[in-house]
Amino acid sequence: MPRLVHVVRCAALLAALVLVVSSGPAFAQQVPGGSGWTPGPGAILDNTYQGFIDQPQPGASVPASSPFHVNGWIVDMAAEGWAGIDAVQVLQGERVLATGSVGLSRPDVASVTGNPFWANSGFDAIVPAGALTAGPATLTVAAHTPGKGTWTQQVAVNVGGGGGNVSTVPSTTGLVASITSPGPNEEVPGTNDATVYGVGYDTRTRAELGAGVDRVQVYLDAQRDAAGSQFVGETVPSSAQWSVHWEPTKFNSFRHHVLFVYVRSAVTGEERLLTQEINIAQD
């Protein structure tokens, strides 16, 4: 779930937000625009921005070889009738890594602040695989406003060289794995009953090992054990066809996601990591 612990742990920020709600836009410019948002290209007027990068967190490890989410929330406290942000990008230096979505559902922000117009203050972008090289990196979230330019916040991360504790297995080893459904960028209904299907077998298997795969694990939004990773489910396949049942409605706080599927060989203990970008319908 999206986190708002930054807000509730910061009494001063919450007090400022409540004052804005009760006093109206004319008072907003008197409130310090904390939370690390700073002027970017074309920025003008006062800093009246609040919000946080929820994922990744500072110091988190992100993969170089797989896509990952950058998301959170931001509001312009001087905006009237909406959150005030019309576009967002993720950059490294001056290089644009991803263009994201804004106006995403964040009912927790509206609930804590008491401002119903901030219920759609979320943002989300997916940095594609291979966009970053291994090592330390600083990501910049650039939020654009219609009349006040661009405002930014940064987060420092560590870029891993590969799949963490996973040994990514070339096809020549004999471990074969694929995701059958959902397909790339398929929209999954936001229900309590869905299934991830796929194929997994090892050509080197023996009779007592069946298809040669003894575990399939499915995670969402980050690699296993990485910050922001959400466990979907796992199975012990009885044949070359595997399936994992899950509840998309538990994860539909924002639409776009990445599936991370781990298929383990019963022959060698090796694992293959599969990724698939999907969408979950928001009812």
Provide the pLDDT confidence category of residue 114 given band limits of 50, 70 and 90.
confident
Whether 248 contacts 65, CB under 8 Å = no
Mean per-residue pLDDT for 142-167?
80
Which whole number is the average pLDDT over 264-277? 91
Q: What average pLDDT does this structure show over 36-41?
A: 90
**More confident site: 31 or 283:** 283
- Highest mean predicted confidence (pLDDT) among 97-101, 106-110, 150-154, 200-204: 150-154
> Most confidently modeled of 68-72, 171-175, 235-239?
235-239
Phi-psi region of 251 (alpha: psi -120 to 50; beta: other; left: phi over 0): alpha
Q: Of all residues in the chain, what percent carry a pLDDT higher than 70?
A: 83
Pairing between β-strand 271-280 and β-strand 95-99 as defined by DSSP bridges: unpaired
Mean predicted lDDT score pLDDT of the chain: 82
Where residue 161 falls among pLDDT bands split at 50, 70, 90? low
- Quick check: 274 pLDDT over 80? yes
**Does residue 129 surpass a pLDDT of 50?**
yes
Give the predicted TM-score (pTM) of the model: 0.58
Rounded CA-CA distance 72/54 in Å is: 5
Q: Which of 74-88, 198-212, 255-269 has the lowest mean pLDDT?
A: 198-212
Domain pair 5-160 / 171-280, same fold: yes
59-68, 196-205, 234-243, 259-268: which range is least confident on average? 59-68
pLDDT band of 14, cuts 50, 70, 90: very low
Question: Which residue type, as a one-letter code, is found at position 59?
Answer: G
Q: What are the tokens at 9?
A: 């742990």
| CB-CB contact of 249 with 191 (8 Å) | yes
pLDDT value for 248: 93
Query: Domain spans of the chain?
Result: 5-160, 171-280
The second-level CATH assignment, the architecture, of 171-280 is Sandwich (2.60)
- CATH class label, 5-160: mainly beta
Q: Which residue has the higher pLDDT, 230 or 227?
A: 230
The pLDDT, as a whole number, for residue 8 is 42
Of 28 and 222, more confident: 222
| pLDDT given for residue 2 in this prediction | 53
Q: Which of 4-18, 161-175, 242-256 has the lowest mean pLDDT?
A: 4-18
| Mean predicted confidence (pLDDT) in 161-182 | 64
Residue 13 scores a pLDDT above 80: no
With cut-offs at 50, 70 and 90, classify the pLDDT of residue 130. Answer: confident
Average pLDDT over residues 204-230: 90
CA distances from 33 to 95, 122, 142, 147, 206 (A): 26, 18, 15, 17, 64
pLDDT at 33 over 70: no
